[in-house]
Amino acid sequence: MFKSSLKIVLGTTVAVSLAACGGAGGPGGGSEKISDGKLVLGVLNDQSGPYKDLSGPNSVEAVKMAVEDWKAAHKDDAVTTDIEVITADFSTKPDVANTKAQEMYDRENADIILDVPNSAAALAVATQAKNKKRVYINVGGGTSALTGASCNKYTFHWAYDTYMLANGAAKSVTDSGGKTWSIVYPDYEFGQASDKLYTGAVEAAGGKVIAHIPTPFPNENFATFITKAQQGNPDVIASMHGGGDLANFFKQYQQSGGDKSTKVVGGVVFLSDIKSIGAEPLKGMQFTDSWYWNMDKEARAWADRFQEKVGTRPTAINAGNYSAAYQYLEAVQEAGTDKSDDVVAKLEGKKINDIFLRNGEIRAQDHRVIHDVYLAEVKDPKDIKEDEDFEKIVTTIPAANAFRPLDQSECSM
């Protein structure tokens, strides 16, 4: 009897001490605090369609860089070093994004999904994040519904949104003397929404929109619309077009010998657009940018490392993915676990400065990440000294003024 109790006591002691050792974990091993012993970061974006250059494979590389950098920064104290980056291409199909997101969360145990540059797809993935209670950080998508009517506890919006794009350029250009505007927009839902947003922002800044000019979408010949836009000699002509339409519009605008004193503004422009169109037709165009690789030393240093690895300069979305992945890992480290609720609690309200975010803050109320954004201008090709150095930062728009104020958000979590 005594013998057997001793056995039990001994056995229990051994077991407990073993468990304790195991729990402490060797460096590099996963611990119980991390589900399945490892962190899985899923990057879901467009790797074969129109957003490939904006985000795509280069964003996957950026996330991998973030993981490496984070591991290097937390050599010994890292909560886990077993971190996997998985990726899938939804090639702009929202239903594929929806299925893939479920698969990543359910089957591949992704702790977080990043990116998703398409409005409908982004909102569908946000719903999945809410249902599965896992973290989702959108970087490449623009719809401000993610932090508006469709916001939820597990979804964050990192780099930019349509509100900020319109607000940034409209306000700073109006403030610098562009009082009267003509807005030319593609006549479909996105264009109409951009027109409304710009009009609101221009009027709020004390300017006036004297002409709203819808164009067919897609469109080749903009001559009549350009003439209409020039009537009444506006200070600013803004085009809400994207991609091929953007190129056509500005080429034809230059050919029409537009008044040099008239400013031109692009509603939705990214570095990848300028790269594919070329600087010549777009020179002098101003637009809102959330980040530019040559905007300061810190961004530049990271862009150099990025170029070494990928062979090209990063877009704002690439950098945003790096930043989002890195800050997620930081939050996991602080929480000591990958449990979504704990990680979200660490992310909410966090103030961040990194290679991408300047004066950044993750707003706890709607999960909009606010940060300094910039009014950028496309350089004249004559002034471009370095490959891919297309942009000049005109002004910095402080974080507090750049994004939609909380009282205008329909978000309730």
Residues of this chain that bind other proteins (CB under 8 A): 47-48, 52, 57, 60, 86-96, 98-100, 102-103, 106-107, 119-121, 123-124, 127, 131, 143, 145, 150, 188-190, 192-193
Q: Least distance in Å: CB of 87 to other proteins?
A: 6
Q: Least distance in Å: CB of 189 to other proteins?
A: 3
Q: Least distance in Å: CB of 270 to other proteins?
A: 17
Q: Least distance in Å: CB of 2 to other proteins?
A: 53
> Which of 121, 352 has the CB closer to other proteins?
121
> Which of 87, 333 has the CB closer to other proteins?
87
Q: Least distance in Å: CB of 127 to other proteins?
A: 6
> Which of 104, 285 has the CB closer to other proteins?
104
Q: Least distance in Å: CB of 217 to other proteins?
A: 9
> Which of 47, 333 has the CB closer to other proteins?
47
Q: Least distance in Å: CB of 224 to other proteins?
A: 21
What is the SS3 string spanning the chain? CHHHHHHHHHHHHHHHHHHHHHHHCCCCCCCCCCHHHCEEEEEEECCCCCCCCCCHHHHHHHHHHHHHHHHHHCCCCCCCCCEEEEEEECCCCHHHHHHHHHHHHHCCCCCEEEECCCHHHHHHHHHHHHHHCCEEEECCCCCHHHHCCCCCCCEEECCCCHHHHHHHHHHHHHHCCCCEEEEEEECCHHHHHHHHHHHHHHHHCCCEEEEEEEECCCCCCCHHHHHHHHCCCCCEEEECCCHHHHHHHHHHHHHCCCCCCCEEEECCCCHHHHHHHCHHHHCCCEEEECCCCCCCHHHHHHHHHHHHHHCCCCCHHHHHHHHHHHHHHHHHHHHCCCCHHHHHHHHCCCEECCCCCCCEEECCCCCEEECCEEEEEECCHHHCCCCCCCEEEEEEECHHHHCCCHHHCCCCC
> Which of 243, 284 has the CB closer to other proteins?
243
> Which of 62, 376 has the CB closer to other proteins?
62
> Which of 64, 371 has the CB closer to other proteins?
64
